[in-house]
Structure 1
């Protein structure tokens, strides 16, 4: 395991929230910083990003399937066309074949929007009374008799797998999870588990109707049937391209990533062809840029299976690369015209080097001088890096659009303006570290001009 103590001490010394940092640049340097930003942002072509999304979203890119293999080959070929030596990291995962039959029957209801399965869910048939189990937390089952019954659970608060395992532990024979927003619910359990019970996903409207019937004292009986689901072993991949320093190296490393896989049945234009396409365009722009810092561009496989690709990447990192890593920039769902504003999420809700760099870049590039906000959220490939003590952040628009993880995540929902916004900010933030004139702090720690930016309690 990596040596986290040294990094923590360095971060504490270099970053002090609420204090004026030693590295804060004078106000008069702003124009100079903007000039350096222009060396990157003026070379970014948003049409390139959009065209990559068009190509990647032609078909779903489920991890371990031919769809992902085609995406990996395309990403590799693009990196190589920019002049990068490219590494493909294969790793073993579980593949999932969707059920051939999913049925849900409840007296007095017509499920016009058909229920869906959860990836890695199990087959089975259950006829039993429904019990409202809230969010499916352990405490929600404490005073509920769900033995042999079907638990009705609302989305939110916990992963789908946790909800189903909590229900199973309490004795439930089946689970129905309903959405907490408009649109269909398409989810994954991350990996197989022999303790799962049969489970289906329904819409918010359907779930609310069932909940209201139960609240009115009605006994509601349901029949849940799943057939043909299969789980097997498969191979997913990460794709890695490294830009080596062109000037005297500071021995620093920056990581820029996105996940290239999608969920079953979804073209994944925004989730996450948008992030992958932005990684590709930034790799093109930086290919010939003068830097004193190494930049590693990565697209991760099997994010939808439980961040498996990023965990694999972290597992393969050398101690040397760990020690010299400045931070990790993760872009996930960065192009939807129907999502909210840009935010930077960290796993602990604290600022770090990456959010400082992002906020400073956002302030420099904004006509109003406003910096990008930050918040607290996991659920993407920045998590494994955070867990080993590396500064990392997720760049995403939140709240996300209602049809993510659905067949409606298509190219017509993509905003070129949002793609340009994120690519500019991440590109300028990375170049703040990588440009040859930036002084490096000891052990690869660097930070930008001081900028005030706020924490936001914003739902993803």
Structure 2
């Protein structure tokens, strides 16, 4: 994704239950000291080495949704939650995934380097190669390509339009070459029965073929696309539940802490998002024996990288009663990179809520004041649209190793992991501990503090 900036907003105000306003100098007040005592029940128990160890194990291989490696991660995470006394559930869900095909192009008995185009149909074709420029409808006007292969340059219209225009003209296959140096990675957007096999070529190879054709040479080609197509796969969410330990004082409320356990192909995903999972596992351990009057759920989501599929599946599984009872969702995504920016809270609509309020107050008490801004593109999104207060915790701007093979354990900062664990842990415990007044009675301080602009965003 392209890097984008966001308009900074005021830092979230603290609740009067903790400190009256988000100023570090006020942490000496009796109310603040009392709240810090409760914070210490959590923060002093956090062992960052546990988090680091879990990230090391989880990032030993990519955890692509629907693969055996993701399932291995799911089993590891579930076992860790269960070992700390949580009631666990592995929630499966299915999704459709495109399986990239094997492709080959031969021109005049010589193999040409090529790449697949997503959603191309399988098939083989041999025939005369015809250069059709950008492959627009006008470029095909008056041309009969029956039994021939279209050579088309990238640009002006979508790949799918180029292939459909070629198919309508009778072409049996399409070669699309890049309009800039290097290999071409393209997609047709979605399956279509009117497509013919399509393969991508580099700019250099495509321009050479186009020049030879325009010079009058007759060139034949063979195209092969095999093994591609849509496959149904299964991913999983891991759900860990701690019922209120003090049932007589139970609030009937739910707090959810989330992270996603899948990664993109080829990336170990140490920061994205084994870091969030690692912090979740440690906070679950720390809170496992703490007295609580609120139901606490830790959820790690599958297939986040494919479009938040796991978190949407989880929210869809919640009854309306459960949705009404969830008072806050804390999503941690990419919270450990040494090369990323500062910790920021993001909400989908850019407005503060109970999650940002409590976390900003916790940040001041633990020595890390937070800003917040507007951003989607992580697992807090489905909760927001279900009417549940939710926020994303992420370092901004993200590290340069985002979605690359370099997102490895050696880039992880223990200090940043500890910082996030302290803030989220303190904020969550503020809700779930038994002596906290009902949240609906809490009052937000009227003068939140404005902090310096933060520039960056998810890429």
State the TM-score, normalized to the length of structure 2: 0.72
Q: Which residue of 1 aligns with 2:449?
A: 452
Q: CA deviation at 1:174?
A: 8.8
| Alignment match of 1:428 (pick from 426, 429, 435) | 426
Q: Which residue of 2 aligns with 1:284?
A: 285
Q: CA deviation at 1:185?
A: 12
Contact 2:241 2:297 in 1 (8 A): yes
Cα distance, 1:349–1:406 mapped onto 2, change above 3 Å: same
Structure with greater Cα Rg: 2
RMSD value over aligned CA atoms?
A: 4.3
Q: Which residue of 2 aligns with 1:391?
A: 389
1:202-231 per-position Cα deviation (integer Å, ceiling 9, x unaligned): 9xxx9xxx9xxxxxxxxxxxxx99764432
Within 5 A, what are the aligned runs for 1:296-335? 296-335=297-336
1:224-268 per-position Cα deviation (integer Å, ceiling 9, x unaligned): 997644320011111000111122211111110001111112111
What SS class does the counterpart of residue 344 from structure 1 fall into?
strand
Q: Which residue of 2 aligns with 1:12?
A: none
> Distance between the aligned counterparts of 2:11 and 2:407, measured in 1?
38
> Distance between the aligned counterparts of 1:439 and 1:201, measured in 2?
64
Q: Which residue of 2 aligns with 1:37?
A: 39
Q: Which residue of 2 aligns with 1:259?
A: 260
What SS class does the counterpart of residue 437 from structure 1 fall into?
coil
Q: Which residue of 1 aligns with 2:245?
A: 246
What SS class does the counterpart of residue 65 from structure 2 fall into?
coil
> Distance between the aligned counterparts of 2:166 and 2:374, measured in 1?
33
What are structure 1's unaligned runs of at least 5 residues? Answer: 1-15, 106-110, 132-140, 154-162, 211-223
Alignment length (residue pairs): 391
> Distance between the aligned counterparts of 2:412 and 2:305, measured in 1?
20
What SS class does the counterpart of residue 40 from structure 1 fall into?
helix
> Distance between the aligned counterparts of 2:13 and 2:72, measured in 1?
49
Q: CA deviation at 1:96?
A: 3.9
Contact 1:353 1:447 in 2 (8 A): no
Within 5 A, what are the aligned runs for 1:45-56? 45-56=47-58
Cα distance, 1:261–1:164 mapped onto 2, change above 3 Å: farther
Contact 2:344 2:372 in 1 (8 A): yes
Larger CA deviation: 120-129 vs 411-420: 120-129
Contact 1:238 1:309 in 2 (8 A): yes
State the TM-score, normalized to the length of structure 1: 0.72
Cα distance, 1:90–1:65 mapped onto 2, change above 3 Å: same
> Distance between the aligned counterparts of 1:47 and 1:188, measured in 2?
42
1:148-176 per-position Cα deviation (integer Å, ceiling 9, x unaligned): 955559xxxxxxxxx87899999998989
Q: Which residue of 1 aligns with 2:343?
A: 342
> Distance between the aligned counterparts of 1:300 and 1:30, measured in 2?
35
> Distance between the aligned counterparts of 2:394 and 2:176, measured in 1?
31
Cα distance, 1:326–1:18 mapped onto 2, change above 3 Å: closer
Contact 1:88 1:238 in 2 (8 A): yes
> Distance between the aligned counterparts of 2:341 and 2:252, measured in 1?
37
Within 5 A, what are the aligned runs for 1:57-456? 57-101=59-103, 129=133, 150-151=153-154, 193-194=191-192, 228-247=227-246, 248-366=249-367, 371-442=369-440, 451-454=448-451, 456=454
> Distance between the aligned counterparts of 2:179 and 2:39, measured in 1?
45
What SS class does the counterpart of residue 239 from structure 1 fall into?
strand
> Distance between the aligned counterparts of 1:426 and 1:354, measured in 2?
9
Cα distance, 1:20–1:374 mapped onto 2, change above 3 Å: closer
Contact 1:257 1:298 in 2 (8 A): yes
Cα distance, 1:239–1:21 mapped onto 2, change above 3 Å: closer
Cα distance, 1:195–1:412 mapped onto 2, change above 3 Å: farther
